[in-house]
Amino acid sequence: MALVEISGVNKHFGDFQALKDITMSIDQGEVIVVIGPSGSGKSTLCRAINRLETFESGSITIDGKELPEEGKALAKLRADVGMVFQSFNLFAHKTILENVTLGPIKVRKQSKAVAEKRAMELLERVGVEHQASKYPAQLSGGQQQRVAIARSLAMDPKVMLFDEPTSALDPEMINEVLDVMTGLARSGMTMVVVTHEMGFARKAADRVIFMADGELVEQATPEDFFTNPQSARAKDFLSKILTN
């Protein structure tokens, strides 16, 4: 069975249909990169996977379990699904180390010593271990986003969702975050990444999902998608981003 099963998902904002009958599955260890024009529903799909967005019909299961709509079960599910946003969403009044240990201590009931040891390993993995005692505002955007990745990893998620993780970064910081994500992809983490970074899609994706107008239009390996897109909409999208 696939780790994530998305089946017939429909989502409206008022009269506007943002997701149209989305069906797809994600295997353990698979890296999915979701691309498509602005407003095509990529973020909405990503957010539906951990119920930051509700949807009217269809189902999403993670590890065979249907997503609960609210309450403790939903909190547990969210702990299993790491999410990294465009805005880093770190706690401003907590140190970097506290940002990473908070979830494991509160939700996973780890001791402070265990949580701190693991947090330091993760901060080292993303290259910001020397910043552990600082506060988020003292770090660059790229460093803060790497802390956000470490914070998600500290919860030992089954799947990691990234919603345009480099869009808010200055150009020189984009690669340092993408390098961390590429390492994570190669380590076997199951990942769904919404991004406009086509280089990352080519390098790290097992499968590219192309969305347009709320539909899942195409899915293929990056090599097939970028060299031989099938639909007119994908060809049009690629011709625009290649000429920009």
Ligand X SMILES: Nc1ncnc2c1ncn2[C@@H]1O[C@H](COP(=O)(O)OP(=O)(O)OP(=O)(O)O)[C@@H](O)[C@H]1O
Does position 43 interact with ligand X (CB under 6 A)? The reply is: yes
Instruction: Identify the three-state secondary structure at position 134.
Output: coil
* Other CB atoms within 10 A of residue 89 CB: 15
Cβ contact 177:144 at 8 Å? no
Instruction: Output 18 or 153, the one with its CB closest to ligand X.
Output: 18
CB of 165 to ligand X, least distance (A): 12
Cβ contact 7:58 at 8 Å? yes
Could you give the CA distance from residue 190 to residue 133 in angstroms, rounded to a whole number?
A: 30
Could you give the CA distance from residue 80 to residue 141 in angstroms, rounded to a whole number?
A: 25
Please report, as residue ranges, which positions from 107 to 136 form the binding site for ligand X (by CB under 6 A).
none
Instruction: Output 40 or 110, the one with its CB closest to ligand X.
Output: 40
Instruction: Output 38 or 243, the one with its CB closest to ligand X.
Output: 38
Instruction: Output 53 or 224, the one with its CB closest to ligand X.
Output: 53
CB of 216 to ligand X, least distance (A): 12
Could you give the CA distance from residue 183 to residue 160 in angstroms, rounded to a whole number?
A: 13
CB of 19 to ligand X, least distance (A): 8
Does position 165 interact with ligand X (CB under 6 A)? The reply is: no
Please report, as residue ranges, which positions from 13 to 42 form the binding site for ligand X (by CB under 6 A).
13, 18, 36, 38-42
Could you give the CA distance from residue 68 to residue 51 in angstroms, rounded to a whole number?
A: 8
Please identify which residue in 4, 31, 33, 44 interacts with ligand X, judged by CB under 6 A. Answer: 44
Instruction: Output 17 or 175, the one with its CB closest to ligand X.
Output: 17
Closest by CA to 42, choosing from 206, 228, 227, 196, is 196
Which residues sit at the interface with ligand X, rule CB under 6 A? 13, 18, 36, 38-44
